[in-house]
Amino acid sequence: MSLLVSVTGRDHPGVTAGLFDVLTAHEEDVSDVEQVVVNGRLLLGFVVPGDRPALRRALQDAAGTLGVEVEFTPLDRTEPVPAAVRHHVTVLGLPLPASALAAVARRLAECGANIERIHRLGDNPAVSYELLVAGGETARLQTELAAEAVAQQVDIAVERASLYRRARRLVVMDVDSTLVQGEVIEMLAAEAGCEQEVARVTSAAMAGELDFEESLRARVALLEGLPVDAVDRVRKAVVLTPGARTLVRTLKRLGYAVAIVSGGFTAVTDDLVAELGLDHALANVLEIQDGRLTGRVVGDVVDRAAKASALRRFAAQECLTLAQTVAIGDGANDLDMLAAAGLGIAFNAKPVVRDAADTALSVPFLDAVLFLLGITREEVEAADAQE
């Protein structure tokens, strides 16, 4: 017979120490312990192998002195609880009502998953909670919770718990409409006076309706004759997605490798690499002769296969496994990369990409990705304050 000791009350320094001093005096071991503080209220539980009246009285007396309440629950189980598969379930919303959390909890129960812990990640740039759940099958959890995310109009991510969540990782991002706002080729087309025609082709390509390489070459051909100073104007006009700097800065502080792979152009990505301190990059090269674009791309086009290949190559260069990689993108050109990564994230993506990715984010802030990695807003702000 073992004993579960549950402690509640106003949190203050010395509570845990005082109670564990009692265990030490009675030569009792602790076989399990969990502690959390919610808005200044302590919730502490621990299990001791024996259930002796003298120990109960001593703990009760110590609790009274410390200003907390203690409750005792005898446990009949003597055998260890079998280990269960665990998942991290991250829920984000703007807002995130209690009804959404209730719906998520209900779905988890229907999938045979039990919530062991709920941890608040932050309320900026979105309200987010991480649930550690035991039991359930990964594919079913992803399918069921994806449906609930649509019903509740929130974002829900499911990732199997593993050492890789706390390990160094490689994060590879698409550029246009992911790391930066808008599509660079459409900005170039506006300078060339063919914006509408290029935008139609871009939309069809990103939705997976056209072969990307063929569509890119066709769009670039429309830019023939555009002067280099127009390209420079576009480069200077590119705007980072909200939260992009925070995301990259935080990942670099954690020792992560950060890369970009783009169906766009080095005329823009080279500046992003220098500005953000990125580790790797791949993008298309626009051919220039006599100070003007020729309407051609130099070398092979960076298509969906090339993006996935780059992710694998960057991971090998960083001595990381694919399980330690994260890919973020929004268009059909990113599908192979998202599938190859250990965690594929669709960011404000087209429907075909949302359906294929491991998880999807619909909030317009790129640093919300940090929540999916288990990084709290408090940790981000504390690191910023130390700079």
Q: Per-residue pLDDT tens for 343-384?
A: 999 999 989 999 999 999 999 999 999 999 999 999 999 888
Residue 117 above 70 pLDDT?
yes
Is the domain spanning 170-356 CATH 3.20.20.70? The answer is: no
Q: Determine which one of 11, 155, 174, 336 is catalytic.
A: 174
CB within 8 A of 323, min separation 6: which ones? 162, 164, 342
d(CA 215, CA 206): 10
Contact (CB, 8 A) for 72 and 20 = no
Contact (CB, 8 A) for 343 and 320 = no
What digits encode the pLDDT tens for the residues 227-236? Answer: 999 999 999 9
Helices vs. strands in the chain: H and E counts, helices first: 15, 15
106 CB-contact burial (10 Å; exposed 0-12 / middle 13-18 / buried 19+): exposed
Q: What is the pLDDT of residue 260?
A: 98
Residue 97 above 80 pLDDT?
yes
Q: Is position 174 annotated as part of the catalytic site?
A: yes
* Residues across the chain: 387
CATH class for the region spanning 86-163 = alpha beta
Q: Which of 303, 361, 386 is nearest to 125 (CA)?
A: 361
151 CB-contact burial (10 Å; exposed 0-12 / middle 13-18 / buried 19+): exposed
pTM of the full structure: 0.87
What is the average pLDDT value for the chain, to the nearest integer? 93
Q: Which two tokens stand for residue 356?
A: 């294929």
d(CA 267, CA 182): 16
CB within 8 A of 352, min separation 6: which ones? 207, 208, 332, 335
Q: Which of 77, 68, 78, 13 is nearest to 45 (CA)?
A: 68
CA 215, distance to chain mean position in Å, is 31
d(CA 114, CA 118): 11
Across the beta sheet with 127-134, the strand order is 114-122, 127-134, 86-93, 155-160
Task: Name the H helices within the chain.
Answer: 15-25, 53-66, 98-110, 138-152, 184-192, 195-206, 212-221, 228-237, 244-253, 266-276, 304-317, 335-340, 351-356, 369-372, 377-385
Cis peptide before 74 (omega within 30 of 0): no
Domain positions in the chain are 2-75, 86-163, 170-356
What digits encode the pLDDT tens for the residues 135-189? Answer: 999 999 999 999 999 999 999 999 999 888 878 999 999 999 999 999 999 999 9
Q: Determine which one of 11, 176, 336, 367 is catalytic.
A: 176
Q: Is position 176 annotated as part of the catalytic site?
A: yes
Domains 86-163 and 170-356 share a fold: no
19 CB-contact burial (10 Å; exposed 0-12 / middle 13-18 / buried 19+): buried
d(CA 124, CA 66): 36
Select 2-75's CATH number: 3.30.70.260, 3.60.20.30, 3.10.20.90, 3.40.630.30: 3.30.70.260
Q: Which two tokens stand for residue 193?
A: 């006076």
Q: What is the pLDDT of residue 80?
A: 57
Q: What is the pLDDT of residue 356?
A: 92
Tell me what the mean pLDDT of segment 298-309 comes to.
96
pLDDT higher at 75 or 340: 340
